Amino acid sequence: MKSYDVLIIGGGPGGYNAAIRAGQLGLSVACIEGRSTLGGTCLNVGCMPSKALLHASELYEAASGAEFAHLGIEVKPSLNLAQMMKQKEESVTGLTKGIEFLFRKNKVDWIKGWGRLDGAGKVKVTDDQGNVSDYTAKDIVIATGSEPTPLPGVTIDNQRIIDSTGALSLPQVPKHLVVIGAGVIGLELGSVWRRLGSEVTVIEYLDRICPGIDEETAKTLQRSLAKQGMAFKLGSKVTQATPSADGVSLTLEPAAGGEAQTLQADYVLVAIGRRPYTEGLGLDSVGLNTDKRGMLENQGHRTSVPGIWVIGDVTSGPMLAHKAEDEAIACIERIHGKPHEVNYGLIPGVIYTKPELATVGKTEEQLKAEGRAYKVGKFPFMANSRAKINHETEGFAKVIADAETDQVLGVHLVGPSVSEMIGEYCVAMEFAASAEDIALICHPHPTRSEALRQAAMNVDGMAMQI
């Protein structure tokens, strides 16, 4: 029976980063992963393949339509879907192999198979041949991630009714794709297929898209996506889906109750969220329980059982790869005896549509609910010279600051390349910057980042370029 200082169950962004940091700190460490590749949901069927398709489909649409023609570039592209999927797969393979390299570099053992807790400090691993091996460790980190949440009445068959994994490798462009759920995953994958030629209808139970995101910002994104041709049916619930060989018949009703209607689609993507994954993990062998959402609770990444830790999607907080990575570092540093905290108030969120949406900190709705007085500075990309010259003028930068201290409390961006720009405010807010601090800092010209500075100036009504 092999023993380690730390055994990590799950090789996603939580697990692989925990393993790397443990290796860096000189701990003996192994990461148990049941998939045939490392990287978890993020690298295999999440962040990375979705971004590969978003990138390719964005270029395809730009080349196909008015955008290239307006720039004076006349081409007639044709879609080679098989090649688009192939380059996505090749990139994913490159990335997952990269984790194997990092494991070797940091002396992390990859134990291939599915891990199951087997009492305190013990884990059994079953490989794909059915062989079972036993391991012990001083500390065990659960990083088993999440899986798509099913929707009653709409059974995912991954033929015509698909989850996000299915939507990342459809064999053909759907004529009509219905997306159930107007969250990040639904909007990103809906965008991919719309750009490639599908009619896309997004059905959402709530009366708004992207719950939790600053409402004005979410509405602006919705307007842009609608202008591009994405149809939205908000305040609607799907109650039944009947698949056939060439499509799906959906029944939907107003969320508040009312007359049912039917809708035909050739594919339906169920994207109503994700739930923690703990199947077959042997939680009862150590007396661990999940809450009613299936989630393992933690306090400073510790479960209620000494020596068992939990990070990433399988525990509380936003289901994001960078949140899992932050928790991985903090958890291993703590196991190593050092203090370490994750600042849950400053985890950015991004939607990689066009325009992109990026957000960090508090929304206006949250501040209103807290009764905290705030000021808002906004700046439209329409008035930003770089955005204008690139014909990417949709959206705005919005900075929310405390009414008295001027400390930046929230930043909400919708516009070009904002995913790359939100990090500026993450750093600034981590150092408790005021809006004036940002307004006083020189930004390069011409860049879209100037809009961030102008929005900060506008917290006190001092933007200069509108």
Ligand X SMILES: Cc1cc2nc3c(=O)[nH]c(=O)nc-3n(C[C@H](O)[C@H](O)[C@H](O)COP(=O)(O)OP(=O)(O)OC[C@H]3O[C@@H](n4cnc5c(N)ncnc54)[C@H](O)[C@@H]3O)c2cc1C
> What is the closest distance, in whole angstroms, from the C-beta atom of residue 382 to ligand X in the complex?
27
Binds ligand X by CB under 6 A, chosen from 164, 201, 298, 359? 164
Tell me: does residue 281 bind ligand X (CB under 6 A): yes
42 lies in the binding site for ligand X (CB under 6 A)? yes
Exactly one of 29, 32, 411, 413 binds ligand X (CB under 6 A); which one? 32
The structure tokens 């148990």 sit at 32
- By beta-carbon proximity to ligand X, the closer residue of 320 and 428 is 320
30 is a contact residue toward ligand X (CB under 6 A):
no
- 319, 331, 335, 457: which one binds ligand X (CB under 6 A): 319
For ligand X, which residue of 12, 23, 186, 395 counts as binding (CB under 6 A)?
A: 12
- The single residue among 52, 141, 143, 295 that binds ligand X, judged by CB under 6 A, is 143
CB-CB contact of 267 with 168 (8 Å):
no
What's the closest the beta carbon of residue 338 comes to ligand X, in angstroms? 22
Binding residues for ligand X restricted to 175-214, rule: CB under 6 A: 185
CB of 141 to ligand X, least distance (A): 10
**Residue (of 438, 466, 433) closest to 453 by Cα position:** 438
Two structure tokens written together for 176 = 């009509």
Q: Is 277 in the site for ligand X (CB under 6 A)?
A: yes
User: Burial code of 202-240, b = ≥16 C-beta within 10 A, e = fewer?
Assistant: bbbbeeebbeebbbbbbebbbebbeeeebbbbbebbbee
Active site residue 391: no
State which of residues 46, 181, 186, 415 lies at the interface with ligand X (CB under 6 A): 46
Closest to ligand X by CB, 108 or 320: 320
Q: Does 320 bind ligand X (CB under 6 A)?
A: yes
What stretches of 285-417 show up as alpha helix (H) in DSSP?
A: 321-335, 364-370, 385-389
Smallest gap from Cβ 289 to ligand X, in A, equals 17
Amino acid 239 reads T
Question: Is 47 or 162 the residue whose CB approaches ligand X more closely?
Answer: 47
Contact status, residue 385 vs residue 446, Cβ threshold 8 Å: yes
CA atoms of 124 and 116, how far apart (whole Å): 5
Range list of H helices, 180-304? 184-195, 215-227
Helix or strand holding residue 67 (H, E): helix 66-70
Task: Confirm or reject binding of residue 10 to ligand X (CB under 6 A).
Answer: yes
Site for ligand X in 410-429 (CB under 6 A): none
Residues 80-119 that bind ligand X (CB under 6 A): 114-115
At residue 117, what is the residue type? L
Would residue 107 be called left, alpha or beta, if left means φ above 0 and alpha means ψ between -120 and 50 degrees? left
Q: State how far the alpha carbon of 248 is from the alpha carbons of 90, 174, 244, 416, in Å.
A: 32, 12, 6, 35
Residue from 70, 176, 301, 445 carrying the catalytic annotation: 445
Residues in touch with ligand X (CB under 6 A): 9-15, 32-35, 40-42, 46-47, 50, 114-115, 143-146, 164, 185, 277, 280-281, 312-313, 319-322, 324
Residues annotated as catalytic (active site), given as ranges: 445
